[in-house]
Structure 1
Amino acid sequence: MSLLTYSAPGSAPETPATPSDSTYPRPSPTPEAAAAALAGRLAAAAAQTDQEGGFPTAEFGWLREAGLFTAPLAAVLGGADLMAPAHTLTMLRTLRHIGRGNLAVGRVYEGHLNALQLAQRYGQPAQVRRWAQAARAGHLFGVWNTQAHDGVHLEPLPNGRFRLRGSKTFGSGAGHLTRPLITGTLPEGGWQMFILPTDEQPATLDASFWKPLGMRATASFRVDLTGAEIGPDDLLGQPGDYYQQPAFSGGAIRFAAVQLGGAEAVFDETRRFLRELNRLDDPYQKMRLGEMAMLVESGNLWLRGAAEHAARPTATTDAEATVAYANLVRTAIEEICLRVLPLAERCVGARGLLRPEPFERLHRDLTHYLRQPAPDAAIADAGRFVLQQPTPAYALWNA
C-alpha cells in the first residue's frame, strides 16, 4: 500500500517499501521545473480530494516520483539543496508552481520543506543522515506546532526515553505524514522539537475537528499523541531552537509563495472562462484582467526581492531586517490575493462560481489559507523596524 494511505484514528500510516539510495529518483532537471511540469496535473485532480477528510494521496506520489521529497536535502545527502540561501528563488518558485496546481498540496509540501530545513539546521550528523534516508525512502515530513489547552508534554521515563501526553491542532497531513516534526513542553518548561515516526507510534486522529471553509484536503486534524514514546535520538536541537530568528518568522515567505500560486491559478482560470464565453472584447473585462496581471506580477517581484534579501551575507546576523522584510512580503502577497479574488468574481459572475467550475474551490482554499497567524502584528513589526532605522528609503533594504 502507498505510504500516504489514510489511517483511521488510533492507527498509524503504513511504511513504504524502501528503495535503495542509488535507485531513488533525484530532482530532474530542477525542482522548479519538476513542480511546473506537475502543476497542470495537480489542478486537474484537485476537485477529487476536495472534501473533509480527503487527502491528495496520488498527488504526493507524483511529487515523490519527481524527486521533490528529497529536493530540500543538501546535495551531499542526495538532494537538490533547495533550502540553501542561494537557491531561495528556486525554492519559492517551486512552491508557487505547486500552489497554483493545488493549494492543499502546496500547504503540506511547504511543511515538508520546513521540517527538513529544521532537521538539517539543528540535527546532529547521525540524525540528519537518518532523516535524509527517511526522505529518500519516501517518508513525508511536516511541522505540527499549533496546540490548544491540552498541548503536548514530554514526560521523562527512567530509561531515558520520553512519554508524550497531549494533542496538537491543525496537524496538516494527519494520518499521512510519517515523520512530523512536533513541538512540546519539557518538565522544566522548555519548548522542544522532536520528530515522531508515526508509522511506529500510536496517534489518535480527531477528524471532526477539521470542518473548514477551504483547504479541506490538507487533513489538518487534531492529533492526540498521548501514550507515544520517543528516545533521545528523536529530539531535535535544544529547547527554544524552534523560535530562533530569523528562521522562524522569515519562513513566512514560503507560505506566501504558495498563496501567490493560488492567485495565479485564479488569474489563469479567469482568462480561460472569458475565452470560452468569447468575452475578450469587453473593455471592462480587459481592465480587470490588466489589473489582475499587474497584481500577480507584483507578487512575483516580491518573491524575487525576498530571495535577494534572504541571500544577503548578513541575512542571519541581521535577523531583525530579515524578519521585517519577510513580514512585508507576506503582507503584500496577502493584499495581492485579496484584490485578485474580487476582480475574478466580477469577471466570471455567478455562473463562474458554480461547480464544476474551479473558482468556488479556489476561492475557498485561497481565502482560508490567507488566514495566517497574527497578520496585523506582522506588518506592525515591520513598521517598528523601519521607524528605528536612520537609513533613507532607497537604501533601507540594501544593507
Structure 2
Amino acid sequence: MALKLQRSSQEIISIVKRLAIDNFAPRAGKYDQENSFPYQNYKDLQEYGILGLVIPKQYGGLGADSLLLAQVLKEIAKGDGSTANTFNMHCSVIHILNEMANEEQKKRFFSEVLTHGKLFASVTSEPSSSLRGAFKPSTIARKVPGGYVVTGTKHFASLSSAADYFNTLCFLEGAESMEDGAIMLVIPRESAGVTVKETWDAMGMRGTASNTVHFNECFVEERNAIGAPGDALRKNVTDIYSFGFASVYTGLAEAALDFTTHYVKNTTFKPDPHPISHYPNIQQRVAEMAVKIEAANQLLAHASYVRDHGSEEERVVPITLAKYFATEMVLEVTDMAIRICGGRAYMKKYSLERIHRDARAGMVMPPNNDKCLEIIGKASLGFEVSGGWLPKSKQKGGDPA
C-alpha cells in the first residue's frame, strides 16, 4: 500500500531525520554506556516542537496522523532506539488523553507539553501482575473527598526518570471487577508519596529509564481522573502502543540495514580490489534484509490507514500483525547484519552492536509476541478479538469451519 505524506509532514520528517543523524546518533553510545536518559535529545525535540506531534492542531499541536507518527518514530529509532521507545510512550499517553480526557484536561495537559515541554509516562506494569493474562492492577486508588489516594508499585516504567506526569492505571478500592474498577489517573511527579527508584539496568534500550515507581498514600486530585472507572477497558485506546512499537523496531531494522550497506560498500579484502558489496552472497543477504524490512513497512502502512479510517474492531488484527512482524523481523535483520559485517560489528564502538541489543526488547513489549499470535490466531479462527486490557474470547457464529 503506497501512502503519500502531506508536504507539511515531509518537512517534519526532514527535521527529525536531521536531528537523528546529527544529534541523536552521535550521543546514543554515551547514553547506552552510562545507562542514562537522553535528556539532550528531548531538549532538541522540544526546541523543534516535536513533543506536540500527536496533539491535535486545534490545541496548538502538529496533529500528526498515524502515518506521520510511524515515520517520525522510525527516523528517531535510526538515531537512538531508547529515544524512540520513550517518545512512543509519551505520544501514546497524549493519544489516550485526546481520546478519553475532558476538554478542560486536554487544554491543561496539552498546554503543559507545548509551553513547558512536559513529558508524560505510561505506568501500567507491576511486579505482581502480568499483561500476559487477565491483568488486574495491585495499585489501589481509594476514593476520598476531592480525589483519590493511591498506593502501589509500578515497574518497567519507561521515561520515569524524566517524566513530569505518570499516567497510571489503578484499581478502585471496593470495586468487584475491572469493568467497574479500572481507573486512569494522571499523577504529577512532584506529588507527595511518589518515589522513583532507579532499578533499570538492562541488556538493551538502556536509555529508556524504565525504572520502578512507588506510590505511598499519594493524593491525586479528582480533576486528574481520566474518564470514568472502566473507560480504559471500554475504549480500546491501547493499540497506539503496539502501533508505536511496530514503528520503532522497523526503524531499528532500517538502521541495521543502513550500517550494513555502508560497511559492505566500503570494505575490501586483499587481493580483491573490489568492495565486498560485489560478492553475490553478500548481495543475497542484503536482499533478504531489504525484503523483510519492506514487508514490515507494508504492514505498517496498512496499520496506519486502518488506525485512522477503520473501526475499533477492524484495527486490532492489522496493528497486532504489524507489531508482531516488526519485532520478530528486527531480530532476523540484526542477526544477518552481524553475520555480514563480522567481528567489527560485534565491537561496542560500532552502532550495530547496540542496535542488535536494543532489538531484543521488542518481542516482550506489550502485547508480547506470544499474545500477538494468540490474538491473530483467534481472529483467523473466527473468534472475536480485542486489543484492549481484556481481550475477548467469544467465538463468532459458532464453529468457523
Normalised-by-shorter TM-score class: 0.7 to 0.9
- The residue matched to 1:287 in structure 2 has which SS? helix
Structure 2 unaligned spans of 5+ = 1-7, 129-136, 176-180, 269-275, 384-401
Distance in 2 (CA, whole Å) between partners of 1:281 and 1:381 is: 43
In structure 1, the partner of 2:284 is 287
Distance in 1 (CA, whole Å) between partners of 2:286 and 2:337 is: 8
Distance in 2 (CA, whole Å) between partners of 1:356 and 1:94 is: 26
Distance in 1 (CA, whole Å) between partners of 2:12 and 2:149 is: 38
**Residue 322 of structure 2 is aligned with which of 321, 324, 329?**
329
- The residue matched to 2:184 in structure 1 has which SS? strand
Q: Determine if contact 2:324/2:363 at 8 Å carries over to the other structure.
A: no
Q: How does 1:378-397 map to 2 (within 5 A)?
A: 378-388=372-382
**Residue 354 of structure 2 is aligned with which of 357, 361, 381?**
361
In structure 1, the partner of 2:398 is none
TM-score (structure 1 length as normaliser): 0.83
Q: Determine if contact 1:321/1:385 at 8 Å carries over to the other structure.
A: no
**Residue 204 of structure 1 is aligned with which of 195, 209, 215?**
195
Q: Determine if contact 2:327/2:359 at 8 Å carries over to the other structure.
A: no
Q: Determine if contact 1:119/1:128 at 8 Å carries over to the other structure.
A: yes
In structure 2, the partner of 1:32 is 13
In structure 2, the partner of 1:88 is 66
Q: Determine if contact 2:88/2:244 at 8 Å carries over to the other structure.
A: yes
**Residue 109 of structure 1 is aligned with which of 87, 97, 106?**
87
Q: Following TM superposition, where does structure 1 have runs of at least 4 consecutive aligned residues deviating by more than 4 angstroms?
A: 27-30
- The residue matched to 1:132 in structure 2 has which SS? helix
Q: Determine if contact 1:28/1:67 at 8 Å carries over to the other structure.
A: no
Structure 1 unaligned spans of 5+ = 1-26, 390-399
Distance in 2 (CA, whole Å) between partners of 1:215 and 1:246 is: 27
How many Å apart are 1:53 and its aligned residue?
4.3
How many Å apart are 1:303 and its aligned residue?
1.4
Letter in 2 for 1:162: Y
Q: 1:165 to 1:50 in 2, by over 3 A?
A: same
1:185-221 Cα offsets, whole Å, 9 max, x none, are: 11133111111111344422222x3221111111101
In structure 2, the partner of 1:375 is 369
Q: Determine if contact 2:24/2:79 at 8 Å carries over to the other structure.
A: yes
In structure 1, the partner of 2:132 is none
Distance in 1 (CA, whole Å) between partners of 2:307 and 2:138 is: 33
- The residue matched to 1:59 in structure 2 has which SS? helix
**Pair 1:125 & 2:103 matched:** yes
Letter in 2 for 1:261: G
Q: Determine if contact 1:245/1:323 at 8 Å carries over to the other structure.
A: no
Distance in 1 (CA, whole Å) between partners of 2:363 and 2:18 is: 25
**Pair 1:144 & 2:123 matched:** yes
- The residue matched to 2:217 in structure 1 has which SS? coil
Q: Determine if contact 1:71/1:81 at 8 Å carries over to the other structure.
A: yes
**Pair 1:169 & 2:148 matched:** no
Letter in 1 for 2:39: T
**Pair 1:220 & 2:210 matched:** yes
How many Å apart are 1:171 and its aligned residue?
1.0
- The residue matched to 1:80 in structure 2 has which SS? coil
Q: 1:292 to 1:29 in 2, by over 3 A?
A: closer
1:121-177 Cα offsets, whole Å, 9 max, x none, are: 1111111100011111210112111112394211233x3222221111011112210
Letter in 2 for 1:257: S
Greater alpha carbon shift after TM alignment, 109-118 vs 225-234: 225-234
Q: Determine if contact 1:205/1:223 at 8 Å carries over to the other structure.
A: yes
How many pairs align? 353
Q: 1:56 to 1:139 in 2, by over 3 A?
A: same
Distance in 1 (CA, whole Å) between partners of 2:156 and 2:346 is: 28
Q: How does 1:229-308 map to 2 (within 5 A)?
A: 229-244=219-234, 246-249=236-239, 251-278=241-268, 279-308=276-305
In structure 2, the partner of 1:19 is none
Distance in 2 (CA, whole Å) between partners of 1:299 and 1:355 is: 27
Q: Determine if contact 1:250/1:327 at 8 Å carries over to the other structure.
A: no
The sequence identity of aligned pairs, in percent, is 24
- The residue matched to 1:180 in structure 2 has which SS? strand
- The residue matched to 1:174 in structure 2 has which SS? coil
Distance in 1 (CA, whole Å) between partners of 2:69 and 2:278 is: 38
Letter in 2 for 1:174: S
In structure 2, the partner of 1:21 is none
Instruction: State the superposition RMSD in angstroms.
Output: 2.0
TM-score (structure 2 length as normaliser): 0.83
